[in-house]
Structure 1
């Protein structure tokens, strides 16, 4: 019976059946019942969904004279069988959802669960680790709710993070819902942000590697060979046959960082130069330079 549907199970909610039926058509009483048995107000171990749906359904019918008349005459099957109903009342629980959220959203953790903002942590990696790819183990401490649903404890957890070759600085790796647990709270996401650890030889610009070589003025003018240790353990011997001027840059294709979306391909190695000028010249050196440049 529809009137019985608004009656919560006595062994769970201990509601007064006659009281519910008596005031089922009264808006004030409906609001009071719906607020009390709204799913958002359930305590741990309680399930108000079925009861709340029954209360809403009963009020939807009993508060509408046409629906109530059809129900009184034809019963529940009359409502389901397509008897003509013209009513403006639809889904009373939508209004109640809004009211419950307003009334209980911030009361001692009751109301709809909310998620804390992401927890961001920077993770410094060497260029070798980014060039070759690696797996990092990150230890976190997080608050875990105990089985009683009220107390909590702090426990450590190891997060395994796989870094793929060539990832850009600023890449964000998200571990969903690994933050602290709390009553009526969705744990925050933990986000690790990749940062380049300073390197003694290189810095990177996009997928290119920048290497700076110091050369004396004589080699800058006459040419030289620059040795470049690579991030995967090789040693490149790069011949420089052009005159090295202050803005000169030697590009070695394919010796930069792997492309994140296709690690088989790589950016370029760009060799820049720090030209070392002599602090003084002997007379013979000055004469030699004069003959070389001025005939």
Structure 2
């Protein structure tokens, strides 16, 4: 990014501001510093670029979340948020998307930029085992894809589109409004810059047709609920050969019968008998890695105590190492006793001194002291 000034400060917004407040603030600042209103003023031009850059990040929920977490490092090469900077579309595009029409008058007059196809979303469920190991799977999606007959041009094979005479291929026409020069899409070519006299019969001049595509999705090990996978160029095809949008795969991890997950840590609640809790023992837990993990249970363990197996949790997404497996003990009181078992427990109770369960003894002593004080 071109500046290290805080984006919220640039847009004069609180960090808790909603999208509407951020957009309103950008509109005000963009109008104030727009180069057409401050011809020749380098400071205003720099300020306009800075607020446009800030708005490009904060208007996008994904980029904003990355910025809130990592700051400017999220958009630097190798930064924690990843990939924000390369999506930056340019200050004029941002201004146009907010105000609905772009204020021209700065020269250039190039051809209208081809309108990119729409991005698509696909929701996919994976099991916790699949999230652990990763997987490659095929999906089918219905999209508007490039027409095979005209190869996306929209023109009948053997013919080609001609330059629009109204806008001379720019795709936009200009009109003077006060001291602004306002550009609008050309009414003849609808902003394409070209006119098709003999359209393709299969796509009717659109350059795209509806298709069902089969795609391979590689799910990496360590994905979590809400992880997003981007398939570049697999979204809707752009009109008349314009670039296609992207397909975003949103992952949802199914609930597991044994394990719960928090980041890279796996949790399991495991009941043990009260005799094992009193005398100690061992516990075998099957892991998602296919191994059986042996955990030693110390004598006198209580409900809620956690035992940790290092490195037996979820793998780090696109990283190295794994989290831990945490087993939370739940001591189970027997509900069905044989007469012999009951007899033995009665004998045990007769030998109790209170030292066997110091927490219980301490609680009742404290309780007695509270009421005695009253």
- TM-score, scaled relative to structure 1: 0.56
User: Following superposition of structure 1 onto structure 2, how do residues 226-237 of structure 1 map, counting pairs within 5 Å?
Assistant: 226-237=283-294
CA distance in 1, matches of 2:347, 2:226: 55
Matched with 1:144 is 145
Matched with 2:21 is none
CA distance in 2, matches of 1:215, 1:283: 22
Q: Which of the numbers 206, 216, 222 marks the counterpart of 1:160? A: 216
Is the CA contact (8 Å cut-off) linking 1:253 and 1:269 kept in structure 2? yes
CA distance in 2, matches of 1:285, 1:242: 18
CA distance in 1, matches of 2:108, 2:302: 71
| Structure 1 residue 230: Cα displacement | 1.4
Tell me how many residue pairs correspond in the alignment. 193
Is the CA contact (8 Å cut-off) linking 2:266 and 2:326 kept in structure 1? yes
Partner SS state of residue 288, structure 1: helix
Distance 1:165 1:182, change over 3 A: closer
Residues 4-28 of structure 1: per-residue CA shift (max 9 Å, x gap): xxxxxxxxxxxxxxxxxxxxxxxxx
- TM-score, scaled relative to structure 2: 0.45
Matched with 1:291 is 351
Q: Which of the numbers 322, 326, 341 marks the counterpart of 1:266? A: 322
User: Following superposition of structure 1 onto structure 2, how do residues 23-42 of structure 1 map, counting pairs within 5 Å?
Assistant: none
Partner SS state of residue 351, structure 2: helix
- Structure 1 unaligned segments of length 5 or more: list them: 1-92, 102-110
Partner SS state of residue 259, structure 1: coil
Q: Which of the numbers 76, 95, 99 marks the counterpart of 2:105? A: 95
Partner SS state of residue 131, structure 1: helix
Residues 129-170 of structure 1: per-residue CA shift (max 9 Å, x gap): 222222122221212243223374332222222222223332
Matched with 2:270 is 213
More off after superposition, 147-156 vs 253-262: 147-156
Residues 212-266 of structure 1: per-residue CA shift (max 9 Å, x gap): 2111222222223211111132222222114332220001111111222434x22
Is the CA contact (8 Å cut-off) linking 1:208 and 1:270 kept in structure 2? yes
Instruction: Kindly indicate which of the two structures has a greater share of residues assigned to strand.
Output: 1
Q: Which of the numbers 192, 208, 227 marks the counterpart of 1:171? A: 227
CA distance in 2, matches of 1:290, 1:192: 65
Residues 151-200 of structure 1: per-residue CA shift (max 9 Å, x gap): 74332222222222223332211112322335366543211122222222
Distance 1:242 1:270, change over 3 A: farther
Is the CA contact (8 Å cut-off) linking 2:117 and 2:238 kept in structure 1? no
Partner SS state of residue 220, structure 1: helix
CA distance in 2, matches of 1:222, 1:286: 18
Distance 1:192 1:242, change over 3 A: farther
Matched with 1:89 is none
Is the CA contact (8 Å cut-off) linking 1:225 and 1:238 kept in structure 2? yes
Matched with 1:255 is 312
Q: Which has the larger radius of gyration?
A: 1
More off after superposition, 231-240 vs 117-126: 117-126
Is the CA contact (8 Å cut-off) linking 1:213 and 1:226 kept in structure 2? no
RMSD, aligned CA: 3.2
